[in-house]
Structure 1
Amino acid sequence: LTRAFIYAGTPSVITTLWKVNDRASYELMREFYRHLQAGRDKAEALRQAQLATLERYPHPYYWAAYQLTGEPR
């Protein structure tokens, strides 16, 4: 599915490597968009969101599944 979005012209896509917890995902994505609005690029926004999620949910299951494919900026 990621390739389909990239081939269709989407500059970048965030996907998960496994099924993720809904609450942790909500919090991570909220942080991601907060960092984007603050001017960080997508790669750094995702990194910061993962670090914030790590503080509340230390097990990698909750924050390590996310990957950015495509343009990081």
Structure 2
Amino acid sequence: LGEVVPGEGLFGLKRALQKSGVQSLVTSLWKVDDEATMQFMTLFYNQLMETQSLSGSFDSAMRTLKENYPDPYYWGAFVLTNNR
């Protein structure tokens, strides 16, 4: 997918996916606890199926995850990138 640039990591992956037409991504900035990730994704996708709102679903899942896991290690890594 082009030139390898040290330290580019997730940015390069996001850029490649966006150039291929992906409009929205939920990514994590670091390796997150599996249980917290499962809870976040379940909350996010259940809410998304109900409301069809990416940002609303993301925010709702984040609020719940913050209640369950006060330490930012568990929820601070998740990022929504929306190019719509």
TM-score (norm 2): 0.79
Aligned to 2:64: 52
Q: Matches of 2:47 and 2:83 in 1, distance apart?
A: 16
The structure having more radius of gyration, on CA atoms, is 2
Q: Does 1:64 align with 2:64?
A: no
Aligned to 2:37: 25
Q: Matches of 1:15 and 1:33 in 2, distance apart?
A: 14
**1:23 is paired with a residue of what secondary structure?**
helix
Deviation at 1:17, TM superposition (A): 1.1
Q: Matches of 1:71 and 1:26 in 2, distance apart?
A: 25
Identity level (%): 38
Return structure 1 stretches of 4+ with deviation > 3 angstroms: none
TM-score (norm 1): 0.90
Q: Indicate if the aligned counterparts of 1:16 and 1:67 stay in contact, CA closer than 8 A.
A: yes
Q: Matches of 1:59 and 1:15 in 2, distance apart?
A: 19
Unaligned runs of 5+ in 2: 1-12
Q: Indicate if the aligned counterparts of 1:54 and 1:60 stay in contact, CA closer than 8 A.
A: yes
Unaligned runs of 5+ in 1: none
